[in-house]
Amino acid sequence: MPNHTVGVFPAAGGIGGATVKHLLPRLPSSSLVFIARSPEKLKSLPVGEAVLRRADYDDDESLQHAFDGLHTLFLISYASVEHEYRTERQRVAIDLVIQSGVNYIFYGSLGYGGKPENGESVAHVMQAHLDTERYLEECARQHKGFGYTVIREGLYSESYPLYTAFFDLTHPVDEIKIPHDGSGPGIAWVKREELGEGTAELLKRFIQNQAGFEYKNQKVLLSGSKTLTLGETVTILGKIAKHPVRICQVSVDEFAKQPKVAPSLTYHGVDHSKLWTSTFEAFRPGEAAFVSPLLGELLGREPEDFETTISRS
């Protein structure tokens, strides 16, 4: 569609940067706007005529006009494991997006909850996403002509440290101490860059055929093509590290007291280590084990497996 401007915010992080990289060959650069706290990070990419704007989730003033002139926005979630603060920041952004005249949001959610249409999860990290998903539904009811697609981005392979007590391949330990025994159901790990590539392809298809877009006001899941249990995941990590490693199931308190855990899970001065263990509770009923074929269809190939991704990283 001519003169249809697409934005990405925040555009310089992991998912954002990967999406930008794969949008550039799919859409005219003159129709793209990349918004980030540090937009200069994107200058290493062939951005061409794309507009770079500076804005920050934590800076309301910077958001006021960040979305002006856009028709469609890929809104990536606030980078945190918090609940209430994260929800509030995302609502502020969505309100400003709609006020700016944007009529369609793709929202980058997270791959918990099992089937993408499910609206519940026991994972604390998923609660702000669920709040935002519900808010987008509300906005679509209240604002004529506004629509959305929720993209639940599967747990990306490169995030394995979050689920292995911050295991370090270069300094491997003998035991990974987590409040889980490593058994199934597993995780449908997915490469982060392929999430960006799949998202870019989904955006392109929407722009090319808005009237016939089949995922309007729906949730979709981009996942890997197979699951690995935490036990299988750890075995692969040990193989790559050339150091046998095993899971040692510990209590929530023991997990939270480990020296690498609290510093990595502290946001705005609050330690979320114990709340983070709800992710392991979410694994038990299989919230991260649902395999969707959509990513493979968007890529036109089988998504890369966990071992390949981590071996190359």
* Largest interatomic CA distance in the chain: 58
pLDDT at 313: 85
Query: Which residues fall within 8 angstroms of residue 232, CB to CB, at 6 or more apart?
Result: 182, 186
Could you report the per-residue pLDDT of 174-202, keeping only the tens digit for each?
A: 999 999 999 999 999 999 999 999 999 99
Give the amino acid at 10.
P
**Contact by Cβ (8 Å): 32, 23:** yes
Question: 6-156+190-222 has which CATH code?
Answer: 3.40.50.720
Q: Which CATH class is domain 158-186+225-289+304-312?
A: alpha beta
Instruction: Kindly give the confidence (pLDDT) of every residue in the chain, 313 residues in length, as a single tens digit, with 9 standing for 90 and above.
Output: 558 999 999 999 999 999 999 999 999 999 999 999 999 999 899 999 999 999 999 999 999 999 999 999 999 999 999 999 999 999 999 999 999 999 999 999 999 999 999 999 999 999 999 999 999 999 999 999 999 999 999 999 999 999 999 999 999 999 999 999 999 999 999 999 999 999 999 999 999 999 999 999 999 999 999 999 999 999 999 999 999 999 999 999 999 999 999 999 999 899 999 999 999 999 999 999 999 999 999 999 999 999 999 999 8
Q: Where are the domains of the chain?
A: 6-156+190-222, 158-186+225-289+304-312
d(CA 290, CA 88): 29
6-156+190-222 matches 158-186+225-289+304-312 in fold? no
d(CA 39, CA 10): 9
Interhelix angle 14-23/192-208, rounded to 10 degrees, is: 50
pLDDT at 2: 59
What's this model's pTM, rounded to 2 decimal places?
Answer: 0.96
What is the DSSP code string of 5-63?
A: -EEEES-SSHHHHHHHHHHTTTS-GGGEEEEESSGGGGGGS--TT-EEEE--TT-HHHH
Q: Give the closest residue to 157 by CA, choosing from 104, 223, 76.
A: 223
pLDDT at 3: 81
Give the amino acid at 278.
S
